[in-house]
Every structure is written in C-alpha cells, then in structure tokens.
Amino acid sequence: MATMRAWQYKTRNEPFESNLSLDTIPRLEAPSTCKSEKDCCILVRVHAVSINPADHKVPLIPVVGYFLNKKPATPGLDYSGVIEAIPPGTPTTLQVGDKVLGRLDWPYQRGTLAEYVLAQPNAIVKLPDSLSFAQGAALGTAAMSGLQPLEKVNIKPGASVFINGGSGGVGSYTLQIAKLLGAAHVTVTCGPANVERMKALGADEVINYREADVLDTLKADAKDKGRFYDIVIENVGAIDSLYEQCHHFMNPAGCFMQVAAPFPLFLIKRTILPGFLGGGKRRFASYLTWNDNADFQRLADWAGEGKLKTEIDSQFAFEDTKEAFERLRGGRCQGKVVVHVVKEGSI
C-alpha cells in the first residue's frame, strides 16, 4: 500500500501545535470516476501550504471544534502543488501535470498539511508562471477574505475604505484589492513596525495604534477633515466599541463588515439589537470565506500580472510545522506563514 506523511491531531489541547504529530498514513487516491459533486476530487501532490488563524482556532472552539470533523484530522486549507490524477467526468479544464494553487472548503478531515490532498474543483486554478509554489499557496483564504467582503458590500470606484488590522495576511490583501477595485482613499491601522510597509502597499493614511487612539483619530478626522468612510472592514475581531461608534465616521449608507467574528452572541448583538440596547446605528454585515473559482482565478491573474503582491512573513520546512504555528499564533506576522511540503527546486 502506498503511503504518505501528514500532520494529524487527535486531541484538542492548547496550544494547538501540541496536538500535532507527523504520521505515515495510507496515501490518498483520486476516485475512479466523478459521479457527483462530492466525488469530484482532484489528486494533488502538495508542494507548499500557507496556514491561517482558522487552522488552529476552529479546532479549539468548544463543542463545535470537536464535532467539526472526524479524528485524526489534518489541518490546513490553502495549498499549491502539481496535479497527479483527475477522475473522468470532473468539471475542469485542468490537466494532469499542471501546477496549481487552491483552497479547501469547510468542513474537511484531510487538510493540506500532507504530501497529497484531494482538491475540490470549485477552488483550484493554474499557478501563474511568475509565481513560486510558496506565493501561490499564500493566496488562498487570505486573498479570498480580502476580495469577497469588498464584493459583498458592492464597493464602488471612488469609495473610501477603513481597514482595522491592515498589516496581517488578510489586511495586506484587503488594502491592495480595495485599490484594484477603485477605492479612492484607504486608511489602515497597524503597529509602528508596519507603517512604511502599509504605505508601500498603497495606503493613503496609516493610523499607528501604538501612538494614537484609533477611535479618537477616526472621530477627529471626520470632524476636522470631513473624512467619512463608505466601507469599514474589521479584521481584528476584538470586542470593542468600533462598530457601536462607527456612526461618527461612517457614511449613513455605508457598511461595517466584520471579517473576524469571535462569538455568535457578539454578532447577534450587532445585527439585531437597536442602538439604545447596545446595537449599532449603521448597516452591519459579517463574512465567512466561501470557495468560488471565478474569484480565485481573478486573484491568481492579479498576482500573476504583478498587480497583487503576495507578502510572505516566514517559511518553514514540512518537519517544522509546529514552529510555523508558533510563529502564526504570535500575532505579529507581516504577511503569510508558509510551510514547504516539498523543498523548492526538488521534484
């Protein structure tokens, strides 16, 4: 029987990486035919994986994390690699041997931190020639989470956008994509180490949250400069007063988009309760990434053309995946954390 290596977890202790072990398990195989959407899985030899906060946070959610998938389970949503097998009848124009990048959708048991993955046809596209496997793997969830919220609120050319949490993997993409979609002004928040980096990616204004109170700055800009935002993107996920106070700096017809949403009751408060009971006074929406090949192709094209920069914070060997999660959990990443399942330059 052919085998492969995969990182797996059977327990749910903190920190998440303490649950991981690198195991040798039966190799995944593509189904013999594609009779239904569920059966249409493309076998990919994984070359690189980018990890996301959801990879370690979701399994540890009380109750939900336990029942989300069967154990042992392999974490990882995003990948790049080479196609090894495509079942007859699979709805795709891709071919065996193509270099690809892709993303899995929830729920899943067999994630991407393995030597092979069964890829879903609704989020797998060719890897542009100009991108490395690491750059391709780094698009995935973070880039989709930058594009889709802006599409959901129907961003218009000339829009003004505020991004709370602009320097992480998602925020870096959101900033660039907002500009690609025609935003006239984008303000982001970040720490002092990322101010110049945010400006280089296209930010018109940067609020250093270590030196200035974000809410006070937004209110002052609205009062003194007439700076009101059409779209507010919340990537931080903290329970604070940003939404409750957004009527001071967001246009009446604008939308507050919560990308990072920590608790269901938190969302209920923001979407249902009236302002005098603790709700907000502006339109509120939340977001959860979904797979869409058209969106994925758009992102790959932008990246391949050099219009969308992929920032990689750090890179780790497959055997050092635990250290990769430690880096990600530190919360100070300047871009994406990538794990090389196959060493660059090897077959």
**Structural domain spans, the chain:** 3-127+311-340, 142-286
pLDDT at 105 over 70: yes
Residue with tokens 């880096």: 327
Is residue 64's pLDDT more than 70? yes
Output the pTM of the full model.
0.91
Q: What angle do CA 325, 342, 5 make, to 5 degrees?
A: 70
Say what the pLDDT of residue 96 is.
97
49-53, 65-69, 92-96, 278-282: which range is least confident on average?
A: 278-282
Residue 281 pLDDT class (50, 70, 90 cuts): low
> Residue 265: its pLDDT value, please?
43
On whether the CB atoms of residues 316 and 340 are closer than 8 A, the answer is yes
Spatial CB neighbours of 292, under 8 Å, sequence gap ≥ 6:
122, 123, 144, 148
pLDDT confidence bin for 269, thresholds 50/70/90: low
The answer to whether the beta carbons of residues 126 and 100 sit under 8 Å apart is yes
Q: Among 271, 227, 219, which Cα is nearest to 251's?
A: 227
Q: What's at 161, amino acid-wise?
A: V
pLDDT of amino acid 218: 97
In one letter, which amino acid is 191?
Answer: G
Task: Kindly state the average pLDDT of the residues 108-133.
Answer: 95
Domain spanning 142-286 has what CATH number?
A: 3.40.50.720
pLDDT in tens, 167-217: 888 999 999 999 999 999 999 999 999 999 999 999 999 999 999 999 999
Pairing between β-strand 42-51 and β-strand 336-340 as defined by DSSP bridges: antiparallel
Percent of the chain with pLDDT over 90: 72
- Name which residue leads in pLDDT, 61 or 5: 5
Provide DSSP, 113-172.
SBSEEEE-GGGEEEPPTTS-HHHHHHHHHHHHHHHHHHHHTT--TT-EEEEES-SSHHHH
What spatial distance separates the first Cα and last Cα of the chain, rounded to whole Å? Answer: 22
Distance of alpha carbon 161 from the chain centroid:
19
Q: pLDDT tens across 293-337, in order?
A: 999 999 999 999 999 999 999 999 999 999 999 999 987 888 899
Give yes or no for residue 276 having a pLDDT over 50. no
CA distances from 347 to 46, 97, 200 (A): 11, 12, 35
Q: Which CATH code, of 3.90.180.10, 3.30.70.920, 1.10.3720.10, 3.90.1260.10, is assigned to 3-127+311-340? A: 3.90.180.10
* C-beta of residue 314 within 8 angstroms of C-beta of residue 338: yes
CA 36 from centre of chain: 28
**Residue 127 token pair:** 């890897």
Q: Which residues on adjacent β-strands are paired with residue 78?
A: 103
What are 28's strand-pairing partners? none
Rounded CA-CA distance 227/275 in Å is: 23
pLDDT at 59 over 50: yes
Q: Is the pLDDT of residue 92 over 80?
A: yes
Return the number of other C-beta atoms located less than 10 Å from residue 210's C-beta: 10
Give the up-direction half-sphere exposure of residue 121: CA atoms within 13 A in the CB hemisphere.
20
Q: How far is CA 323 from CA 30, 127, 308, in A?
A: 31, 27, 28
Of the pLDDT bands very low, low, confident and very high (cuts 50, 70, 90), residue 347 is very low
Q: Report residue 271's pLDDT band, with 50, 70 and 90 as the boundaries.
A: low
- Note the pLDDT of residue 337: 96
